[in-house]
Structure 1
């Protein structure tokens, strides 16, 4: 088909015009790009905001630019930044710029270096970390802009088909690192607050060494492959953990790290829990807007592993597993398996327990950021301890108030436990067995076999409140040593059953307990009287061998105040009771003993003691503490 002569001539004219425009573009624009004055003009537009430079640049057609040796730096309201690239190219639609639409595509960048640091804020002290921020070339550190933002129409920025390749370096605040990476993706952003949307459809990253605060090596090497992105969000309103609600992640990782703090992201519902250590992290992690997805299977082979819970630090080696899928019933399971572990209490260097086997398992619905309106009904913390050694029972003295009348002085033991903790209920047990527990009680040195079966009947772990009703303590082979009397009889034993016991670990600690007591005979009770200085009634000696002691006791602890409001034991021929208070302001109390028809009361007042025979029962009944 032949075109009409007029049409053919018109096409030739259009082609000729296009060629002329292209030639003019090549000559004029590329000449402009090579003239140093061009950079001077550009940098004079808003020098306080940005500065750009390049070694060479050219444009093959309108909207497409290639640059080599490019660098840019600038100030935002709160940050200072710098980016350098060996080479970069991209295309931009020119006409949409009239309407404040920047449509950029086919962006390629090789060997990128990026730096960013904060501008100073008057309400923040940077003295400890200032030395670890990067230096931004040509930029002085100036205070952040805190004045209200001017009302301006925003720009709409869309960048598609981004490809970043090569060796990259970055220094962001106190973090420095390098990597060899191939990254593909795109983003959409509206200036002046967002929203921002990011889609990195391909990640293939070989991580080099990363450092924090100068020379602390955060990780030595690793590989990350997969994809990530953010659903649209407002950067000003969503920072820190709030970003998790917009994060999309599907990556395979194999990273050797010197910090395991990232594990805390998966246990944000637990208060005052911290994780650290080092090891090899391997596996797959899938996140979708704040929720861990099925298919996640991450393992940490830890060279050293630390978990800090309120007042305790668990350290050792071991492994951490993170899994969600069919094998977990759709729940997110985070498990810690310790080897060669020590459990320390506060600043005491002596381990509470030490040995090989301890497991902590946290199960949840997989949502990372807690929301009060969406409680996690699947949240469970399980603890399994398999017969670990207690090297020195004296370490348990640190759990008792300073004024507690019993002082644990030594011995060793074996401890095992199984606990299940939910926000509003709890169950399990702790069992401790010792063949040589030693303690001091009212100036008496004690040594005995001890079996403690602590029952976790219920509780509210979220409020640090526990029900220990049903717990039992058994003493056998008891030795009581004192200045005036002692006995050593493997036949003596006693059993203490807590019929009701409530423990609240909030500050101040609170304990309310009621107990039933059974003892084989009365010798320890009589020994308390026998071992006092000065005069002692003769009937005490006769009270030594009364058998079948039974009774009850009440214990109250509030912070540093310890009280036994009432305790009473009886047998066929003996009655005994004690009411005592120990507090910072002082201590006082009474101990009553009756054998057949003869009785006595031991009065305690700030360390002073004396025995009365006259009106002993009345004095005991009338006692009221002044503390």
Structure 2
């Protein structure tokens, strides 16, 4: 009955209309059939991927197969996307995805996707790759608008070394205009259950729950680049899960090794971020058990607790009670003014920070500690434990703070020498005038070596118990040093006091690199070196003493080989920093038990001399040069006579001079390079008088000598191998000879 009614109704339609309706239906069916054929061919042949991947260096998409049953509706399987923006590369994979594209907006150059649903999603982002600068912005770019990208099956995500595994869901939407147009991340959400978070191989969270909301306001590239986009970002993060246990292993030398292992810690985070600042009410609680064994094998167990609370300021507390024989502890209470997060320069956080930090911790490198004391010539390096009690006011370490290092590798470079050894260091900050903070460091090397900077692998001094005190010069003190009559060179804002005693010198020949070898050198023997030096902030000697002590040393002095006990006490007072010259007034050199062979082959023994430099200057640069006037005491004048001639060449009465007792002498001395000059030498006692001047240059020898004993006198001229004796009017002849020094 109903069928007949429908038939009669269709028959009442005019025949022309019926033909148009039939034709329209056929066309629609044909168009739909053509769409099914063309659309599925497009998706399942390389044509689709070729069309989508017109900029493969910036964006690529691939899929294994696809299906479209209605215009604007697409289903694809095994989807893989990857892209490159700036220094970041990213990739996303999904087992399946389906979506809908709005057709009419395409006429306005807008690709609007109201919804995409993805299944079994994983993703990764790597930062730090080659930079690909974007093209200049141009008008007329297509708009990409994805209102909702949804997945209930996110399995894995990675940002650099930070890896997240779990069961997640997310809703994300974004707007992007191509050709450098605006970008917007619409209000989006993500949620993870059973989350496992790790950094590299170290676990950070397990069995966790994570909830996040985030959005970025619409902006162009010129309005916000890189990290500046965070100033347009609003986000919240809630996290709750199990934190790992911190494993600590300490060897007998005190070195600490850390590791993360599964444990029963707790992590709770509820943070809000609004365009560059943490929102009031944000909080963080992190509880990490600490377990391990100390250097004796004894087990210990405790915990590290970190808390952050945000209101008008940010307040951070971190505590780890002392364990492992006191080698591991922390008690920090720091307040940061304001809630702004330092996005571009983390150091800007320091001026806003005040608080107190006490603890002991192991650092992989202690180089930062040496630089803290503004002494570039001193370095503290290697791994080590630091014991700190630090007070901070407005980002500056305040007076009363201290830092101790029980074991560190220390190296000091002093005037071309390298002093190195294992040391213990104690630093503190004193308060000076006008509340000025003055760093102070005490360093003790139980064992040390000294080598030349250019031969660091060949130390020539080995000692014990070297002490270095490094302290700041206050502003008031520096101003006083600049007053008329004070030091001309103030140097750096630091000064140091270096002391050591009786360090072993296994081979005295090591000093020859600093000596003019033709006229003063060591040919063998061992001894000791002691020092008491004041240094400035640049590591240059200001004043002090250096002492050398040796027994039965072999020396070469003024062309004569001798064996002697040596005792040298050098007094240093800087005269010119740039030229490395020193005033060495008061320097003393004593030679005892001297034995030597005269030019004629005669041997002498038991001779001694003491030399006091009354006025003298020394140039530190290699080889050392000396210029000054000396007062000399000697057992007899035998060595002085030997400098000019053989015994058998002198008149026989001159032998009596040698046996006529000790002599007191004065003279001018200059030792520089290949030249040794002795001038205006006057040696005498109650029975005789000897005067001399001598110039040694390489193997060349020239000079004159005058001797008087009673009514007898003699003068001799030396010109290399030639000698000319003057027995008549000897004094007049000697006085007529030119001086060696002006």
TM-score relative to the length of structure 1: 0.60
Describe the shift of the 1:73–1:357 C-alpha distance in structure 2 as closer, same or farther (beyond 3 A): closer
Which residue, 34, 50, 53 being the options, matches 2:91? 53
C-alpha contact 1:567 1:579 (8 A) present in aligned 2: no
- In the TM superposition, residue 574 of structure 1 has moved relative to its aligned partner by 2.8
Which residue, 547, 550, 554 being the options, matches 2:664? 550
Between 567-576 and 354-363, report the one with greater CA deviation. Answer: 567-576
What residue is the counterpart of 1:321 in the other structure?
A: 426
1:241-390 mapped onto 2 (5 Å cutoff):
254-256=360-362, 260-271=366-377, 273-277=378-382, 279-284=384-389, 292-302=397-407, 305-325=410-430, 330-345=437-452, 347=455, 352-364=460-472, 379-390=494-505
Check if 1:613 corresponds to 2:721: no
What residue is the counterpart of 1:485 in the other structure?
A: 602
What residue is the counterpart of 1:420 in the other structure?
A: 534
1:106-117 mapped onto 2 (5 Å cutoff):
110-112=197-199
SS of match in other structure, 2:444: strand
Q: C-alpha distance in 2, partners of 1:598/1:358?
A: 55
Q: C-alpha distance in 1, partners of 2:187/2:505?
A: 66
- In the TM superposition, residue 291 of structure 1 has moved relative to its aligned partner by 5.8
Q: C-alpha distance in 1, partners of 2:630/2:700?
A: 23
C-alpha contact 1:352 1:392 (8 A) present in aligned 2: yes
What residue is the counterpart of 2:616 in the other structure?
A: 501
What residue is the counterpart of 1:174 in the other structure?
A: none
Which residue, 506, 520, 531 being the options, matches 1:406? 520
- The C-alpha deviation readout for 1:407-452, integer Å capped at 9, x for no partner, is 2223343443322233698333233333433312244232333332
Q: C-alpha distance in 2, partners of 1:106/1:481?
A: 98
What residue is the counterpart of 1:468 in the other structure?
A: 584
What residue is the counterpart of 1:70 in the other structure?
A: 124
- In the TM superposition, residue 354 of structure 1 has moved relative to its aligned partner by 2.7
- In the TM superposition, residue 268 of structure 1 has moved relative to its aligned partner by 3.8
C-alpha contact 2:553 2:563 (8 A) present in aligned 1: yes
SS of match in other structure, 1:469: coil
Describe the shift of the 1:38–1:389 C-alpha distance in structure 2 as closer, same or farther (beyond 3 A): closer
Q: C-alpha distance in 1, partners of 2:690/2:379?
A: 52
Q: C-alpha distance in 1, partners of 2:663/2:171?
A: 94
C-alpha contact 2:530 2:546 (8 A) present in aligned 1: yes
C-alpha contact 1:600 1:611 (8 A) present in aligned 2: no
Q: C-alpha distance in 1, partners of 2:474/2:238?
A: 33
Q: How many residues align?
A: 494
Q: C-alpha distance in 1, partners of 2:523/2:187?
A: 75
- In the TM superposition, residue 358 of structure 1 has moved relative to its aligned partner by 1.0
- In the TM superposition, residue 308 of structure 1 has moved relative to its aligned partner by 4.0
C-alpha contact 1:392 1:411 (8 A) present in aligned 2: yes
C-alpha contact 1:276 1:307 (8 A) present in aligned 2: no
Describe the shift of the 1:84–1:449 C-alpha distance in structure 2 as closer, same or farther (beyond 3 A): closer
What residue is the counterpart of 2:151 in the other structure?
A: none
C-alpha contact 1:277 1:302 (8 A) present in aligned 2: no
- In the TM superposition, residue 189 of structure 1 has moved relative to its aligned partner by 11
Q: C-alpha distance in 2, partners of 1:231/1:302?
A: 37
What residue is the counterpart of 2:206 in the other structure?
A: none
1:65-214 mapped onto 2 (5 Å cutoff):
70-75=124-129, 83-87=160-164, 110-112=197-199, 152-155=222-225, 156=228, 157-158=230-231
TM-score relative to the length of structure 2: 0.52
SS of match in other structure, 1:613: strand
- The C-alpha deviation readout for 1:52-73, integer Å capped at 9, x for no partner, is 2356899xxxxxxxx9753233
C-alpha contact 2:627 2:670 (8 A) present in aligned 1: yes
Q: C-alpha distance in 1, partners of 2:122/2:129?
A: 23
Describe the shift of the 1:335–1:595 C-alpha distance in structure 2 as closer, same or farther (beyond 3 A): same
Decide which structure has the larger Cα Rg and report it: 2
C-alpha contact 1:253 1:283 (8 A) present in aligned 2: yes
Runs of 5+ consecutive residues of structure 2 not aligned to the other structure: 1-72, 98-120, 134-158, 202-220, 247-256, 262-266, 277-282, 291-326, 476-481, 483-489
- The C-alpha deviation readout for 1:506-551, integer Å capped at 9, x for no partner, is 578654322222223212112334548x955545423323444333
- The C-alpha deviation readout for 1:312-341, integer Å capped at 9, x for no partner, is 233333312222247999531222211133
SS of match in other structure, 1:361: strand
Q: C-alpha distance in 2, partners of 1:248/1:506?
A: 48
Q: C-alpha distance in 1, partners of 2:171/2:575?
A: 64
- In the TM superposition, residue 353 of structure 1 has moved relative to its aligned partner by 3.5
Check if 1:394 corresponds to 2:394: no
- In the TM superposition, residue 382 of structure 1 has moved relative to its aligned partner by 0.6
Check if 1:440 corresponds to 2:556: yes
C-alpha contact 1:416 1:430 (8 A) present in aligned 2: yes
SS of match in other structure, 1:521: coil
Q: C-alpha distance in 1, partners of 2:501/2:494?
A: 23
C-alpha contact 1:539 1:598 (8 A) present in aligned 2: no
- In the TM superposition, residue 564 of structure 1 has moved relative to its aligned partner by 1.7
- The C-alpha deviation readout for 1:108-154, integer Å capped at 9, x for no partner, is 9943459xxxxxxxxxxxxxxxxxxxxxxxxxxxxxxxxxxxx9454
SS of match in other structure, 2:516: coil
Runs of 5+ consecutive residues of structure 1 not aligned to the other structure: 1-30, 59-66, 115-150, 169-176, 191-199, 207-220, 368-372
Q: C-alpha distance in 2, partners of 1:412/1:401?
A: 19
- In the TM superposition, residue 102 of structure 1 has moved relative to its aligned partner by 9.8
Q: C-alpha distance in 1, partners of 2:492/2:385?
A: 32
* Superposition CA RMSD, Å: 5.8
Describe the shift of the 1:536–1:188 C-alpha distance in structure 2 as closer, same or farther (beyond 3 A): farther
Describe the shift of the 1:74–1:348 C-alpha distance in structure 2 as closer, same or farther (beyond 3 A): closer
Which residue, 589, 596, 604 being the options, matches 2:702? 589
**Structure with more contact order per residue of length (Cα contacts < 8 Å, sep ≥ 6):** 1
